[in-house]
Structure 1
Amino acid sequence: MRRLGSRVSILERNANLLHREDPDVSAGIETLFHDEGIDLVLNATVVEASGVSGDSVIITYKQDGQNKTIEGTHILVATGRTPNTEGMGLELAGVELTASGHIKVNEKLKTTAPGVWANGEVAGQPQFTHIAFDDFRILRDNFAGGNRVTTGRQVPYVLFTDPEVAHIGLSEAEARKKNIPYRLFKIPMAADLRTRTLSETRGFMKALVGEDDSILGFTVFGVDGGEIMSAVQIAMLGRLPYTALREAILTHPTLMEGLIVLFSSVPTSMIQK
């Protein structure tokens, strides 16, 4: 909407726009939005909304202990989703819910009622279409006599900004919290030569590598980040060491070639909690 000429303000209740991401990722997105002319209002708790979206709206919010207001014509509320389980009579069937209203399932997606399974977002899984599809595969295979579970699976995700943010595996914050030692490889996207031909050099990519040279996690904030992340994910699925990507012969100039640059860079020393 900003690129179409509208003035855009984002109200965020946390101190960082992407508070679940590593600080450098959130800082990158915040800089991008500032450069685009988007007004970021952080540490803001919405108190009241009045008016009619599409006509005139006023948002009252609290920031630094003071009530403030912002006026506009349209409002988009992005506060997450709640499961549509209320009033369905699930309790009559013996299907228990969690405190958040999701259907309680085990690692095979079986509910508390005999012969009843649940999959997708209503089962409280990570709320991605690709996870719901994998839930289906788990049920399909188990119904055919298999033994698949939801635990231990990789959960990739992409934030489809421009440029994108994509991630797989451990973040730095998660690695430190779990006391998992890692080496950090990090380069600016400009070091990937393909970004220069695309005239989109903003961002960076980074990878966490373990003591055994395995790739623990990967994050990219850059053009077509989701595609680059998927290549690293496949290497992780194949349990390839980072050196396999470092020594690969990849077509020049492609964005994937930047992985050679990344894993050929000088990493930090092993970082521990």
Structure 2
Amino acid sequence: MSVETYDLIVFGGGKAGKTLAMDQAKAGRKVALIERGLIGGSCINVACIPSKTLIRSAQVHDLAVHADDYGSPDVVTLSMPAVARRTASVVQEMVDLNLAAFLASGLDLLIGWGRFVEPRVIEVQLDNGVRRLTAGEIYLNLGTQALVPDIPGLKDAEPMTHVEALRLDSLPSHLLVLGGGYIGLELGQAFRRLGSKVTIIEAGDQIARREDPDISAALQAALSAGGVSFALGSAIVEVSGRSGQAVSVRLADGKELEGSHLLVATGRRPMTRDIGLDIAGVDLDGLGFVKADDRLRTTADGIWALGEIAGTPMFTHASLDDFRVIKCGLAGGNYTRAGRVIPYCVFTDPELARIGLSEKEAKATGIDYRLAMLSMNAVPRARTLGERGGFMKALVGDDDRILGFAMLGAQAGEVMTAVQMAMAGGLPYTALRDAIIAHPTLAEGLGLLFATVPAKTR
């Protein structure tokens, strides 16, 4: 079989990969993009975009149900098929936009999946045949998929992952969610608001375990107030039944939870199996992630890894920055992923947003800090919105720079970005404390927050 030669091959079309492929094709290089079928990547098809669309539908429904709190009592009914159609429509619009951008860039799009058959040759299985490709530069952007843990009876129960949950056109009567991380929390609250009974099962002693205990506790309290139930601190021993019909989860403490549907949200695994990376000379770590340095170079010459499979935090915006690392390297620059400060948001209600150090991390590394905290109830805009729950907290160093910020509250992600800009510019916390911020806005709370920073003790 003949081998086609390209300037570069991008294997996997996630955020970093598709951006790189289009950028280099527009620059006049011969580019092949290999994608198994999710045009635009997982974010658009099965993750960020459909989940946030569903969450918005749930939020609007919840507001309508509680409209009498705002002076507009009414009777509200839910059409789950309409919710599913709206989610699918938003996804399809994004897919169409991405496909048009691919074609306009001039890249060669191969819909299929591949594997290395020689150190620098990828064989791609297409619907209409097989092609073999090689290039001087190969970029791996393979992504991850939901991990279904090895629990007795779990796989036989045919549980949903986020992919299937986001495509439901009928409402579960009782959704059991395995995992109290960000995906489980977002989808659990969304389905509760749409009308399902929801129980979130977490083996650890707190939800959102990477967060400080006060944030975790406040978030759990907010979700509990909305009707979400929790089972914490007990491992799952066995699963029986069938998701979508009737399913039962037995816990180590003897409790047994029964539901109609089962959603697994217990982590993700890299899609690096059975594609010949050993043939290519690309080494993996013990969990199957690609070993890559700060310039995203793998152990094989001329092969780079981008996004989640390279150990980059599992956020679309982090993957996009991997593209910047590669782009800079191609231009002879020195930008790397070392020392990046990556923000993130959890789109529960209230939202959770964080950047920089948490208290837990600061204490673990012995970093001194001054703590500022502010209840969202003290922010006038939160009162007018009727969204008073949550708080802001900030860690400030001895040099008055902001070490970290977290917010649990309305539009937390938007407010956090203002803090991020101050941190990126190396500004002291007083720049936000003394800024003239428009009233009444949620960001106005930053001035109130930083006014509470304790004085230096030395």
User: What's the TM-score, normalizing by structure 2?
Assistant: 0.57
Distance between the aligned counterparts of 2:359 and 2:409, measured in 1?
Answer: 18
Instruction: Give runs of aligned pairs for residues 229-268 of structure 1, distance below 5 A.
Output: 229-265=416-452, 267=454
5+ unaligned residues in a row in structure 1: which ranges? none
Distance between the aligned counterparts of 2:243 and 2:272, measured in 1?
Answer: 28
User: Which structure is higher in helix share?
Assistant: 2
Distance between the aligned counterparts of 1:93 and 1:38, measured in 2?
Answer: 47
Distance between the aligned counterparts of 2:457 and 2:262, measured in 1?
Answer: 46
Distance between the aligned counterparts of 2:369 and 2:303, measured in 1?
Answer: 42
SS for the counterpart of 2:279 is helix
Give 1:53's aligned amino acid.
S
Match of 1:33 among 223, 228, 234: 223
Instruction: Give runs of aligned pairs for residues 64-79 of structure 1, distance below 5 A.
Output: 67-79=254-266
> In the alignment, is the contact (CA less than 8 A) between 2:292 and 2:304 conserved in 1?
yes
Displacement, 1:60? 1.3
SS for the counterpart of 2:349 is coil
> In the alignment, is the contact (CA less than 8 A) between 1:158 and 1:164 conserved in 2?
yes
Q: How many residues align?
A: 268
Instruction: Give runs of aligned pairs for residues 69-108 of structure 1, distance below 5 A.
Output: 69-108=256-295
Give 1:78's aligned amino acid.
A
Cα deviation 1:164-205 (Å, max 9, x = unaligned): 011000111111111111110101001111101111000000
> Is 52-61 or 157-166 further displaced after alignment?
52-61
Question: Counterpart of 2:199?
Answer: 9
Give 2:228's aligned amino acid.
I
Distance between the aligned counterparts of 2:323 and 2:453, measured in 1?
Answer: 42
Instruction: Give runs of aligned pairs for residues 1-273 of structure 1, distance below 5 A.
Output: 1-63=191-253, 67-265=254-452, 267=454
> In the alignment, is the contact (CA less than 8 A) between 1:181 and 1:270 conserved in 2?
no
Distance between the aligned counterparts of 1:93 and 1:160, measured in 2?
Answer: 39
Distance between the aligned counterparts of 1:73 and 1:268, measured in 2?
Answer: 55
> In the alignment, is the contact (CA less than 8 A) between 1:103 and 1:122 conserved in 2?
yes
Identical-residue share of aligned pairs (%): 52
> Is 262-271 or 231-240 further displaced after alignment?
262-271
Cα deviation 1:133-177 (Å, max 9, x = unaligned): 100111111112111111101111111100101100011111111
Displacement, 1:265? 2.1
Give 2:435's aligned amino acid.
A
Distance between the aligned counterparts of 1:232 and 1:30, measured in 2?
Answer: 25
Displacement, 1:32? 0.8
User: What's the TM-score, normalizing by structure 1?
Assistant: 0.95
Q: Which has the higher contact order (CA 8 A, sep 6+)?
A: 2
Which structure is larger by alpha-carbon Rg, 1 or 2?
A: 2
Displacement, 1:36? 1.1
> In the alignment, is the contact (CA less than 8 A) between 2:398 and 2:456 conserved in 1?
no
